[in-house]
Structure 1
Amino acid sequence: MTAAQQQDLQTQRRLQQDSIQLAGKTIYINPFLYWRRFDSNTDRWLREPGQLSEEQIQQNRSRFYPELEWALLDERDQEVKDGAVEMFLKSLELISTFHPELTSGQILEVERKMAITKKRSFERWVEKSYRRRSREETKKKRRFARNRFLQGWGEWIALDTTHQALVPIVALLVLSAVLGWSYGSSQSSCPTLVPPQQQTGVR
Structure 2
Amino acid sequence: MTVAPQTDSQLSRRLQKDSITISGKVVYINPFLYWRRFDNNTDRWLREPGQLGEEQIHLNRARFYPEVDWTFLKDEERIIKDAAVEMFLKTLELIGTFHPDLNAGQLLEVERKMAITKKRSFERWVEKSFRKKINLASRERNRFARERFVRGWQEWLTLDTTHQAFLPFAAIIVMSIFGGWSIGISNNSCTPYFPTSETSILK
Q: What's the offset of the Cα at 1:169?
A: 1.1
Identity of aligned residues (%): 62
DSSP-derived class of the 1:106 partner: helix
- Counterparts of 1:133 and 1:185, CA distance in 2: 64
Q: What's the offset of the Cα at 1:198?
A: 5.7
Q: What's the offset of the Cα at 1:153?
A: 1.4
Q: What's the offset of the Cα at 1:11?
A: 0.4
- Counterparts of 1:39 and 1:185, CA distance in 2: 79
User: Which structure 2 residues correspond to residues 171-190 of structure 1 after superposition, within 5 A?
Assistant: 171-190=171-190
- Counterparts of 1:54 and 1:127, CA distance in 2: 18
- Counterparts of 2:3 and 2:33, CA distance in 1: 25
Does residue 168 of structure 1 match 2:168?
yes
Q: What's the offset of the Cα at 1:160?
A: 1.3
- Counterparts of 1:20 and 1:139, CA distance in 2: 41
DSSP-derived class of the 1:197 partner: helix
User: Which structure 2 residues correspond to residues 1-203 of structure 1 after superposition, within 5 A?
Assistant: 2-191=2-191, 196-197=199-200
Q: What's the offset of the Cα at 1:156?
A: 1.5
Q: What's the offset of the Cα at 1:13?
A: 0.3
Pick which of 159-168 and 29-38 moved more.
159-168
Q: For residue 83 of structure 1, what is the amino acid of its counterpart?
A: A
Residue 29 to residue 188, structure 1, CA distance change in 2 (3 Å) = farther
DSSP-derived class of the 2:134 partner: helix
Measured against aligned partners, the alpha-carbon deviations of 1:143-191 in whole angstroms (never above 9, x if no partner) come to: 1111111111122122111111111111212222222233334444544
- Counterparts of 1:6 and 1:153, CA distance in 2: 62
Residue 188 to residue 82, structure 1, CA distance change in 2 (3 Å) = farther
DSSP-derived class of the 1:33 partner: helix
- Counterparts of 1:27 and 1:183, CA distance in 2: 91
Consecutive unaligned residues of structure 2, counting only runs of 5 or more, are none
Q: What's the offset of the Cα at 1:94?
A: 0.8
- Counterparts of 1:9 and 1:93, CA distance in 2: 30
Q: For residue 19 of structure 1, what is the amino acid of its counterpart?
A: S
DSSP-derived class of the 1:142 partner: helix
Q: What's the offset of the Cα at 1:192?
A: 5.4
Consecutive unaligned residues of structure 1, counting only runs of 5 or more, are none
Cα root mean square deviation, aligned: 1.9
